[in-house]
Structure 1
Amino acid sequence: MTPESYEGRRVTVAGLGVSGVSAARALAGRGAHVTVVDGGEGQAQRARAAELEPQGVTVRLGDGDTLPEGTELVVTSPGWRPDSPLFAAAAAAGVEVYCDVELAWRLRGPDAAPWLAVTGTNGKTTTVRMLAAILTAAGLRTAAVGNIGTPILEAVLADRPYDVLAVELSSYQLHWSPSVRPHSAAVLNLAPDHLDWHGSLAAYAADKGRIYEGNRVACVYNTADPATEELVRGADVEEGCRAIGFTLGTPAPSQLGVVEDILVDRAFVEHRHKNAQELAELTDIAPGTGQPAPHTVANALAAAALARAFGVEPAAVRDGLRAFRPDPHRIEHIADIDGVGYVDDSKATNTHATEASLAAYEHIVWIAGGLAKGATFDDLVAGAARRLRGAVLIGAERHLIREALARHAPDVPVVDLDRTDTGAMSEAVREAARLARPGDTVLLAPACASMDMFVNYNQRGDAFAAAVRELAEEDR
């Protein structure tokens, strides 16, 4: 394909975050007249504006709602809501809107690296990083990009080309990327999330399903989540593209799965109706971090499926999984104190992620709460009730979890911390330690967003880890 020309076009970039800055630079470097708009006026925005202005970029702070006169295209940061006044003005003026991912796709050259893409409610980042590790082990030049790591525009426009890209795509990015067509793609799971942004579960699922459009080799889905297979069925793919399932059980033909603690492939092998290929053992998944949780195994299978769709040999799957190390705040074991394990899964910002986290441990003192984002917690609590030794609740909407616990786990002791300052985490850890017995796990899996108390889930996890280490020091 020939890269689209932006020479002389008047482009408005919505948002002055990482993706907005990346888009503004790329467009200015290709001769566009770029104006960046952002509703903020803080120090960070002013610093980024100062970096862009020498490149001929106009930055307008304090007003993200007004469409600059003469705009021919809007490139948005993914998180901007579809009902923003800026986009209403663009629609009224007949101006196209898309995001930096779509821009990157349109700027690809004829020899551009194929995209192996991943989405889902949970597990995207882990899966993409596993995939990048496997591709690297296969000797391919790759990068984890998109909603993770290197900005996708930097990777697409790099002077030294990549062989293949491992691309994490959020529902926001997919919403604003109408023409992206990956080589192969996976939807890991679907559960209600970001409904305030998308408006409904159906709209959220439809945006997730865009990732399968135009796939050439494989549409990878989760056999335990029928909604993902339904998205495959509804996708318009290229002739010969196959539906490939992954399962924690014994795989059927055209699936990857687990047989006696071994990851096996019955999809990308000859005579798959009677043959299977060993890929790795469960102990190969991030060795040294303990027995992998079920959802981590599922992520590894999805990553392996995409790598195999790209032609990667089995040994590279094993070597890549061995080399992979989880990011902080994702089922991260912090310490053992008096026979109690302390685990940070601050990344579990919704009920689906928290359900998977709770399922990984037998006896749990659960630290939860924050901003619920419209979620309900009855199903989550009912499913985990037998595992709960106690619960410590923090955050602005903790009452929703407390009420669900009262309905479905009335015998579980609950500590309700009536404070939303960052110091509440230290008290939460101490209360959890008081409730825990040897053999239990104190698990931070909030099921909620963090912004009521913390800058982001990373800061929340850091606060948990610091409180645990403080407790460990006192125990010595």
Structure 2
Amino acid sequence: MGSGQVTDWQGKNVTVAGLGVSGIPAAKVLHARGANVTVVNDGDDARAREQAAELEALGITVRLGDGATLPEGTELIVTAPGWKPDKPLFAAAHEAGVPVWGDVELAWRLRGPDAAPWLAVTGTNGKTTTVQMLASILKAAGLRTAAVGNIGVSLLDVVLGEEQYDVLAVELSSYQLHWAPSLRAHSAAVLNIAPDHLDWHGSMEAYAADKGRIYEGNRVACVYNVADKATEDLVREADVEEGCRAIGFTLGTPAPSQLGVVDGILVDRAFVENRQQNAQELAEVSDVDPPAPHNIANALAAAALARAYGVPAKAVRDGLRAFTPDAHRIAHVADVDGVAYVDDSKATNTHAAQASLAAYESIVWIAGGLAKGAVFEELVAGSAKRLRAAVLMGADRGLIREALARHAPEVPVVDLDRTDTGAMLAAVQEARRLAVAGDTVLLAPACASMDMFANYNQRGDAFAEAVRELGAGA
């Protein structure tokens, strides 16, 4: 099975690893194309048995409680992106010379000969926002597009669906890239690289290398972050098509072949005639919502990919103006007694929280949750001068408390020894007590939410509800 499209699946023995959002559609698609499909799954609970029954009714074999053994005769494994590379199933596949693809690789191989090119985005933080901004810009240019990939719309559905697209804005996680060896984007961006998911990848080097796969075989532009040297290093290491260019984005004045900011204007010195002398105005900083520094960076990356695709400057401005950020991403909830309350529950790691904290001058910080192996020294040291106070909750709040004691000993800390969902109301009430007019009470937990909440959305909703109660009682 080479690197191009695969058209004949008849009689191929394919093992699908994992009953989940990508595994079930993959199994159905391959079965419909005549492949002999076996699904293996570690779990054997009621939900898995229900899903298995649905697939078995179609004639697909399912093995529950045994995700480690390679079924005999397997010619290809299609894996859910979350399965770790060190699983025994993959070791057995490697030993037997059996290729392993993820859902993205499968979608790439199944797309038709006239399929829409992919503009791809990865990075530790900002992927979803950037891809949504990019789709908004492409739509403003009159192109048929969609924001797809790691963002909710399955790439398989898009590639095999009836709807025709001119170009796709594709969000890719490091997991998906790890299992997508033959993906070749029109242009791609790595927004930033900070430690995350190291338990999955095994090391920072392996994590960065998987992110860097997004640049392999790019045709027009490899977009990197001038402020994050690791992203530029990945461009240097990538094997790209002849004529593909490295395009930087910066919050400062852009050099030739870069996009940047001059006097509150987003400008392009990459996709213009005579870029040594000329720059094209694209939009104003105020066209970006919210105009926090890291979000301006997202907008510049989106603009760079759109410009690489040939989109006019006006569409960049119109697309950015039309874009509305998702809930729980630096969302202004309310002002109470001159204090702004901001929900950035999506800041589930230290890098995202750092960007969030950098957007405000005087902060009462609500933080804590599940650390996922993260350390908080750098985050606290870099943000100490902006912190008026901190309110901590959640399972790993002690790690943040210790970092505050070391790097910001003068900052008052309230340690809520609670992991129940009601702790959020108490946290907001404590924050109100500590804040003065002109402050921002910022929920930027720097941690995952699953110790107290179903997900970051529920955590953000609890914050907003608590703020509304404050307002009602104000």
Which TM bucket (shorter chain)?
over 0.9
Distance 1:293 1:44, change over 3 A: farther
Matched, 1:260 2:263: yes
**Amino acid in the other structure paired with 1:331:** I
Deviates more, 1:449-458 or 1:88-97: 88-97
Distance in 2, Cα, partners of 1:455 & 1:40: 20
Contact preservation (8 Å) 2:132, 2:147:
yes
The Cα offsets for residues 353-377 of structure 1, whole Å up to 9 and x where unpaired, read as: 1110000011111111112122111
Aligned to 1:219: 222
Tell me if 1:395 matches 2:394.
yes
Report how many aligned residue pairs link the two structures: 471
Q: Distance in 2 between matches of 1:213 and 1:261?
A: 34
- What is the Cα deviation at residue 23 of structure 1? 1.4
For residues 262-304 of structure 1, give each alpha carbon's deviation from its aligned partner in whole angstroms, at most 9, with x where no partner exists: 1111100101111111111112123xxxx51001000000000
Aligned twin of 1:438: 437
Runs of at least 5 residues in structure 1 that lack an aligned partner in the other structure: none
Alignment equivalent of 2:288, drawn from 266, 285, 292? 285
Match of 2:373 in 1: 374
Partner of 2:202: 199
* TM-score for the superposition, normalised by structure 1: 0.96
- Tell me the residue number matched to 1:35: 38
| Alpha-carbon distance between aligned partners in 1 of 2:203 and 2:216, rounded to the nearest angstrom | 21
- Shift of residue 25 of structure 1? 2.2
1:304 equivalent in alignment to 2:312: no
Contact 1:3 1:109 in 2 (8 A): no
CA distance in 2, matches of 1:253, 1:265: 9
Partner of 2:66: 63
Q: Does 1:13 align with 2:12?
A: no
Aligned-partner residue type, residue 65 of structure 1: A
Instruction: Determine if contact 1:183/1:218 at 8 Å carries over to the other structure.
Output: yes
Task: For 2:323, give the aligned amino acid.
Answer: F
Corresponding residue for residue 95 of structure 1: 98
Say whether 1:349 aligns with 2:352.
Answer: no
Greater alpha carbon shift after TM alignment, 450-459 vs 300-309: 450-459
1:341·1:441 contact (CA, 8 Å) conserved in 2? Answer: yes
One-letter code of the match for 1:377? Answer: F
C-alpha root-mean-square deviation of aligned residues, in Å? 1.5
Aligned partner of residue 245 in structure 1, secondary structure = strand
Alpha-carbon shift at residue 68 of structure 1 (Å): 3.0
**Which blocks of at least 5 consecutive residues in structure 2 are unaligned?**
none
1:324 aligns with 2:323: yes
Q: Is the partner of 1:55 in helix, strand or coil?
A: coil
Residue number in structure 1 paired with 2:180: 177
Instruction: Give 1:110-129 correspondences, 5 Å limit.
Output: 110-129=113-132
Distance in 2 (alpha carbons) for counterparts of 1:466 and 1:283: 28
- Structure 1 range deviating more: 415-424 or 378-387: 415-424
Structure 1 residue 422 and structure 2 residue 406: aligned?
no
How much identity, in percent, do the aligned residues show? 77
Matched residue type, 1:346: S
Deviations 1:155-207 (A, max 9, x none): 11122221111111111111111110100000001111111111111111111
What secondary structure sits across from 1:322 in the alignment?
helix
Kindly tell me: are residues 466 and 40 of structure 1, through their superposed partners in 2, closer, same or farther at Cα, counting changes over 3 Å? farther
* Offset of residue 29 of structure 1: 2.0
> What is the CA–CA distance in structure 1 between the aligned matches of 2:150 and 2:183, rounded to whole Å?
15
* In structure 1, distance between residues paired with 2:202 and 2:398: 24
> Per the alignment, do residues 62 and 247 of structure 1 end up closer, same or farther by CA in structure 2, a change over 3 Å counting?
same
Q: Per-residue deviation at 1:51? A: 4.2
Q: Secondary structure of 1:13's partner?
A: strand
Match of 2:360 in 1: 361
1:407 counterpart = 2:406: yes
Question: 1:318-355 CA deviation, whole Å, 9 max, x = no partner?
Answer: 11111111011111111111111111111111111111
TM-superposed CA distance for 1:5, in Å, is: 2.7
Q: Distance in 2 between matches of 1:451 and 1:86?
A: 28
Q: How many angstroms apart in 1 are the aligned matches of 2:40 and 2:351?
A: 34
CA contact (8 A) 1:189 1:228 kept: yes
2: CA distance between counterparts of 1:117 and 1:282?
24
d(CA) in 2 for partners of 1:43, 1:460 = 28
Tell me what 1:460 maps to.
459
Other-structure match for 1:162: 165
Shift of 1:55: 3.1
Mapped to 2, the partners of 1:64 and 1:458 lie a distance apart of: 31
* Alpha-carbon distance in 2 for matches of 1:455, 1:47: 22
2:340 partner SS: strand
Matched to 1:199, the amino acid is G
Provide the rounded CA distance (Å) in 1 between the counterparts of 2:350 and 2:97.
39
Do the aligned residues in 1 keep the contact of 2:5 with 2:108 (CA within 8 Å)? no
3-state SS in 1 of match to 2:175: helix
- How far residue 462 of structure 1 moved from its aligned partner, in angstroms, is 1.8
What are the residue-to-residue correspondences of 1:69-108 with 2, within 5 Å? 69-108=72-111
For 2:55, the aligned partner's letter is L
User: Cα deviation per residue 1:108-149 (whole Å; 9 max; x = unaligned)?
Assistant: 221111000001111000000000111111111111111003
What CA distance in whole angstroms lies between the structure 2 residues aligned with 1:451 and 1:64? 25
In the alignment, which residue of structure 2 is the partner of 1:136?
139
